[in-house]
Structure 1
Amino acid sequence: MASLILASSSARRRELLQQLGLDFQVLSPDIDESLYENESIADYVQRLSRQKAQVVLAQHPEAVVIAADTSVSILGQILGKPLDREHAFAMWSMLSGTTHEIYSGVSIASYAEQSTIVVKTQVEFQVLSQADMEYYWNSGEPVGKAGAYAIQGIAAQFIPRIVGSYSNVVGLPLHETVQLLKKFNILRS
């Protein structure tokens, strides 16, 4: 069987993939993650996952490569990682009392073929008070997290409901990833 490579520096993606009991290497590709003008968020995450897979596959053509990109979106705007406290508070003010979307593009590529899917999950946030935001910021958890939160951590208390894949919100939709892996004979049907 071909070696399996996860093209990601995300510890959360690594942990999720380990849940499947797979043996894999981790390599982090360097790509330009700029959003193209008029590019939809679904197209954006799909393009980035494909590019990440292709960069790693070019270095390891004998491997099967899994790559993913996840974005937090509200009202068509991507919420990246917070630059500082004020930026995090601004994002939480947008998310507070609303529903937003998490989009992940997942690509699996080998020398012979490549498959890509996009998964969307809706996440509902409760209304956040100033005290909620202060408490959460002071926990340190929001730093380095897209949308300035981690559903698998303290932020779970602020999320009354999701519609779709929980693992997608964490960073890798496992059900859909498994379906792709089966196409590449990495997992049995």
Structure 2
Amino acid sequence: MSDFIYLASQSPRRSQLLTQIGVAHELLLPDPAEDAEALEVVRGREAPGRYVARVTGLKLDAAVARLQRLGLPAAPVLCADTTVALGREILGKPADEADARRILQQLSGQTHRVLTAVAIQSGRKRVQAVSESWVQFAPMTASQIKAYVASGEPMGKAGAYGVQGRAASHIEQIRGSYSGIMGLPLFETAALLRSVGVAC
């Protein structure tokens, strides 16, 4: 039994969600020499579900190697990655404000999928799961999109929005896991943690 885990994610939301289910954790973040963004490159016509599971696995490989390199105490390592997909098109993090406006114009009035993969390694054991949810946006005017992008909230987020922020006023309906849309599906995460001996 481990009394804590490592969270290999820079997302403050994932840390808050782990705290919500009573999981003690320490951050295990990439050092500046690691090119974490390079792991997120889409390969050709890769299906969104396969993409998010592959990227999460690569992030976990990098985190486990980091743990060994730093000589830190052994404990399970958790990684997660979230992707937004409109049909088969993967909508990643916006490159700039113009890109954020373009992505939000695509999502306006549409229903899209949010896929979050979670992977945990404990010793030699690795477990993983993918949560899939659906989010329906109301039609957004150009001025609403512009105002939302100006808030800065879309930057650094897959699909250029955060469900727990201002975008909520444009979301008509959600089906699936609210915490999964935020970036860490708690039902699946708790089941994976229990399977490697972490109480939650």
When the two structures are superposed, what TM-score results if normalisation uses the length of structure 2? 0.88
Instruction: Kindly provide the CA deviation profile for residues 67-116 of structure 1, in whole angstroms up to 9, marking residues without a partner as x.
Output: 11110111211112222222111111110111001111100111131011
Measured at CA, do residues 55 and 83 of structure 1 come closer, stay the same or move farther in structure 2, by a change above 3 Å?
closer
Distance 1:165 1:38 in 2: 26
Separation in 1, partners of 2:109, 2:22: 38
Structure 2 gap ranges (5+): 69-73
Shift of 1:22: 1.6
Q: 1:53 aligns with which of 60, 65, 76?
A: 60
Which residue number in structure 2 is paired with residue 154 of structure 1? 166
1:163 aligns with 2:175: yes
Corresponding residue for residue 138 of structure 2: 126
Distance in 2 between residues matched to 1:142 and 1:11, nearest whole Å: 15
Counterparts of 1:32-111 in structure 2, within 5 Å, are 32-60=39-67, 62-111=74-123
| Count, aligned residues | 188
Q: Does 1:186 align with 2:198?
A: yes
Question: How far apart in 1 are the matches of 2:95 and 2:64?
Answer: 32
| Post-superposition offset of 1:34 | 1.5
Q: 1:11 maps to what in 2? A: 12
Task: State the partner residue of 1:137.
Answer: 149
Q: C-alpha deviations, 1:131-175, integer Å up to 9, x for none?
A: 211221222212222111111011001001011000111111111
- Aligned residue type for 2:47: S
- Structure 1 unaligned residues grouped into runs of 5+: none
The amino acid that maps onto 1:45 is: V
CA RMSD, 1 decimal: 1.6
Q: Counterpart amino acid of 1:148? A: A
Separation of aligned partners in 1, 2:120 and 2:95: 31
Which has the larger displacement, 36-45 or 109-118?
36-45
CA contact (8 A) 1:7 1:67 kept: yes
Q: Secondary structure at the match of 2:40?
A: coil
Q: CA–CA distance in 1 between the matches of 2:67 and 2:142? A: 49
Task: Supply the distance in 2 between the matched residues of 1:141 and 1:124 (Cα, whole angstroms).
Answer: 19
Change (3 A) 1:54 1:83: closer
TM-score w.r.t. length of structure 1: 0.92
Identity over aligned pairs, percent? 39
Measure, in 2, the Cα distance between the counterparts of 1:119 and 1:127.
26
Partner of 2:27: 26
Letter in 1 for 2:154: P
More off after superposition, 135-144 vs 165-174: 135-144
Distance, in Å, in 2 between the alignment partners of 1:52 and 1:89 is 28
SS of the residue corresponding to residue 77 of structure 2 reads strand
On the 8 A contact 1:70/1:104 being kept in 2, the answer is: yes
